[in-house]
Amino acid sequence: MTTTDSATAATTTRDTAMDIGLFILRIGVGAAILQAGLIKAFDFGTTVGFMESAGWRLPGLAAFMVTAAETLGGLGLIFGALTPLAACAVIAAMVDAWAVNVSQSAFWSEPFNVPFLIGVGAAALLFLGAGAYAVDAKVLGRVSWGRRVAVGLLVVAFAAAILTWVALLGTNPIHFTARA
């Protein structure tokens, strides 16, 4: 085996391992968020009631938005289909879910919870791409989408989450002291 053949074999093995790792990450993050979305979809009345009791304006719209983002985002991540858009939807939903969990406390008092971790996983997929074992790769010929797309969609996700929170709940989700 020549040096070139050794380098090619090492690169192929590394790329294969990375693609398997991305596949595992997609399945884990996608399944977790899909479950959350399906729970909301199958008991939509409870989801609307939760939003209403928490003070959300237009609780039916808010419940629909989070249910759609979680369900479609989860499916997109599991299959690696339009992965940047799926990750963007998941990140936006998880920023708001994270804010719900920490909104009564100071900004960083208890930041590391399930929405935080799912959001971080989705952000990793946004930047790394879906890998070779994905619809994006098989149908569109893309294993990743580029840094500009990732940064742009990350900004869109945070903007959508904050605008949704402010427009439908009427408060700023990020604060540095505990709520009164």
User: How does residue 15 score in pLDDT terms, banded at 50, 70 and 90?
Assistant: confident
Distances (CA, A) of 56 to 39, 47, 121: 19, 11, 27
- 144 domain residue, yes or no: yes
Q: What is the 3-state secondary structure (H, E, C) of 4-41?
A: HHHHHHHHHHHHHHHHHHHHHHHHHHHHHHHHHHHHHH
- 178 domain residue, yes or no: no
Mean pLDDT, residues 37-52: 96
88 lies in which domain range?
2-169
- 159 domain residue, yes or no: yes
Give pLDDT, residue 114: 87
Number of domains in the chain: 1
User: How does residue 4 score in pLDDT terms, banded at 50, 70 and 90?
Assistant: low
- 113 domain residue, yes or no: yes
- Is residue 105 pLDDT above 80, yes or no? no
- 8 domain residue, yes or no: yes
Which helix (H) or strand (E) segment holds residue 50: the answer is helix 44-53
- 152 domain residue, yes or no: yes
- 75 domain residue, yes or no: yes
State pLDDT tens for residues 144-178.
888 999 999 999 999 999 999 889 988 766 655 55
CA neighbor of 96 nearest in space, from 71, 70, 127: 70
User: How does residue 99 score in pLDDT terms, banded at 50, 70 and 90?
Assistant: confident
Mean pLDDT, residues 94-114: 73
Give pLDDT, residue 10: 45
- 61 domain residue, yes or no: yes
User: How does residue 103 score in pLDDT terms, banded at 50, 70 and 90?
Assistant: low
